[in-house]
Amino acid sequence: MISNEQFLKSLQQEGISLFTGVPDSLLKEICACITASVDARRHIITANEGAAVALATGHHIATGEMALVYMQNSGLGNTINPLLSIADREVYSIPMLLMIGWRGEPGVKDEPQHVKQGRVQNDLLDAMEMPYEVISADTRDYAPVIRRLIGQARDESRPVALVVQKGTFEKWVPVQNEDRSVHKPAITAQLMPREKALEEIVHALGDDDVVVSTTGMPSREIFEIRARENMGHHRDFLTVGSMGHCSQIALGLALGQPGRSVYCVDGDGALIMHMGSLAIIANNAPANFKHIVVNNGAHDSVGGQPTVGFAIDLPAIARACGYRDARRVSDAGELKQSLTWLARTDGPVLLEVRVAKGARKDLGRPTRTPAQNKTDMMSHLGNQTEAVK
């Protein structure tokens, strides 16, 4: 495996002066090293991957220097527009180094939403005419790879990419408990666990209510709660991919099913990634739209890196966008009372639930495939669809 400290040193020696992106589970060790070792003004976790490319562009224009933009390959789609319409050498010609975690690599077992992405990832890079190289735990001499890629980016004034296979980096063990982030997650030990909050939410739902939940731990926890209590899974759409888009899926569902309440169970990182969706929801004003943001101030599913979730006022943002009302709660008693308020109040309304970081180590994954999940819900809603086995 590759040493995080030495890898970071190699990047800095080759002139990388800004680190930015969206955390990825395959890159969590090197991201933790960057967080602990790089000044906060030189390491910025952005709302989404496209924004990181734009930030890297501004950094180069201001300083003449290069940035590293890190991401999971599922976020590559968010970067295509700014990469091709801004950074490409046929437009503004901006040098930068992308570092992409290769989820769904062919031959490596992964979750369903990553399989197609992993299979076509390098074809996408080829179609974008982006030079790239692949490194793994067996890449002993990675410094020349970094030097070659950064040299090409600089000489040809273009983006290039470093594709990172699973298990490439050593486990990061910090020398001291140091976090240079501008927005550090608040101490959350006194807050309720997310799974406990989700149990309260699930128990408060009516038989006709449906749920659209965000990607990552919340969907996994909702699935396990339903399974543990033999509730069935037909009322839940688990958005296993497409981070940040569950609220628009929920909006489409709410507009198409005006006679039932639609609960969007969102996360702080996901909401922030595409925050403009709040304005679209408010403008369409579905009375049956109930928005719950489970906020732990972290990208919990990919390593616990901080978001700005605890540094901003989500209820105020929702109200400013046009939501009818919004509240924040941080304990079980407040949550129970506010779930009653949520059910009785015409939407769109938003409830921010502040919870602790972390999840059970034995947390499972959904045993129904995404296609089965879709069919289960469509059947529950009375829509005829082809059965999926």
Is the previous residue joined to 348 through a cis bond, with omega within 30 degrees of 0?
yes
**Domains 4-164 and 194-380 agree in fold:** yes
State the Cα angle at 19 between 18 and 24, rounded to 5°.
170
Q: Return the amino acid letter for 34.
A: I
**pLDDT digits 0-9 by tens, 255-299:** 999 999 999 999 999 999 999 999 999 999 999 999 999 999 988
Tens-of-pLDDT digits for all 389 residues of the chain?
A: 999 999 999 999 999 999 999 999 899 999 999 999 999 999 999 999 999 999 999 999 999 999 999 999 989 999 999 999 999 999 999 999 999 999 999 999 888 888 888 999 999 999 999 999 999 999 989 999 999 999 999 999 999 999 999 999 999 987 655 556 555 555 555 899 999 999 999 999 999 999 999 988 899 999 999 999 888 889 999 998 888 899 999 999 999 999 999 999 999 999 999 999 999 999 999 999 999 999 999 888 787 888 999 999 999 999 999 999 999 999 999 999 999 999 999 999 999 999 998 888 888 888 888 899 999 999 999 875 554 44
Q: What residues contact residue 79 under an 8 Å CB cut-off, 6+ apart?
A: 49, 50, 52, 53, 69, 71, 98
Domain boundaries, the chain: 4-164, 194-380
Look up tokens 């109040």; give the residue.
345
Domain 4-164 top-level CATH class: alpha beta
Provide the CATH number for the domain formed by 194-380 in this structure: 3.40.50.970
- Taking CA 366 as the corner, what is the angle to CA 362 and CA 368, rounded to the nearest 5 degrees? 150
Q: Tell me what pLDDT residue 388 has.
A: 47
Q: Could you report the per-residue pLDDT of 121-167, keeping only the tens digit for each?
A: 999 999 999 999 999 999 989 999 999 999 999 999 999 999 999 99
Using a cut of 0.85, tell me whether the model's pTM lies above it. yes
- How many angstroms separate the CA atoms of 37 and 47, rounded? 21
